[in-house]
Amino acid sequence: MSHDRYADPYAGSAAYQSHHHQPSHSYADNDLQPPEPPYTEPGGYQASSSTEKMVDASMGTERLHKGRQGPQQGRSWAEAGPPPRSTGILRMWRKGERGKQWSRGGGARTFLRFCCCSTTLIIILLVSIILAILLYVRPPNLKLNSINIGSSGVTLASNGFSLSLTLGISVANPNWFNVDFKEVSATVRYPGNNTNSFGGGTLYNLDFQGYTDSTFDFPLTLNYSTTIDPNRVILDDLISKCGSSSNQITIDYNLYLKLKILGVTISPTISSDASFACPISASDIESIAGNS
């Protein structure tokens, strides 16, 4: 059985089968040039993220294998949401998504942002100091131990009298730091006539060590005048208490303290009363009443 000689169709004309006798057109006979590849860069390969065969260029990106999924376009950090804290990249996500928050908006907004943050920090610091003082710092405990007649005693006048007293006060400091009394002042009123002052006193610069109990003498002066007692309420009560029975005289007082604790000055007020024996005779009081 004879066969026709096979020849390369690109090299010349040759019949492969007996029924094929027409010579093929070669590039040399027809002066045809091979078509240039549709690329301009050396190598001629198109960049592609997938090696799968495409059905037709006009059909888009339909794949031969429907079940396979090639590389998908990644989502942004914002679409994916913040990563779990356990990954350790949460701070990087915030920095990448939010950018430079401090300097955003230009110099004016940066300055205003700095002022607002500084003011907020100062307010928080002051509130923290005040709360620390209120919660952890305990004020000293003051107690009246005794009341005695002062060295000046009683000074009589035609329309009144003056009486010097000494209050023995004990102070217990429960704190580990010293407490400085910058000023201690007192006002006295007589029961039944609380509208007018009946005397007072002032003492400056008292220092008490931490975890100690101390005492000090507070000078107090009572000043009676008929001008502060037009209805003779105080005078009649003194006559009844300073007679033969010699009852106790009671006075109401307010102590105004100015304490300096850890550089902060606080001003508490202590209100109480004190009683003492009448230091003046009934005849002296009646002489004042007779002159009024």
Confidence of residue 79 (pLDDT cuts 50, 70, 90): low
Superfamily for the 141-291 domain:
Immunoglobulins (2.60.40.10)
Q: What is the CA radius of gyration of the chain?
A: 53
Report the distance separating Cα 125 and Cα 103, nearest Å.
Answer: 25
Instruction: Give the torsion through C-alpha atoms of 37, 38, 39, 40, to 10 deg.
Output: 80
| In the predicted structure, residue 46 carries a pLDDT above the cut 70 | no
- pLDDT at residue 77, as a whole number: 52
- pLDDT at residue 44, as a whole number: 47
- pLDDT at residue 31, as a whole number: 53
- pLDDT at residue 184, as a whole number: 93
pTM score, whole prediction? 0.54
- pLDDT at residue 55, as a whole number: 45
Max mean pLDDT range (10-19, 48-57, 241-250): 241-250
Residue with tokens 């902060």: 264
Name the average pLDDT for the chain: 75
Residues 6+ apart with CB under 8 A from 69: none
Domain ranges, ordered by start, for the chain: 1-29, 141-291
- The string of DSSP letters for 5-55 reads PP--TTTS---SSTT--SPPPPTTTTT--PPPPS--STT-PPP-S--SPBS
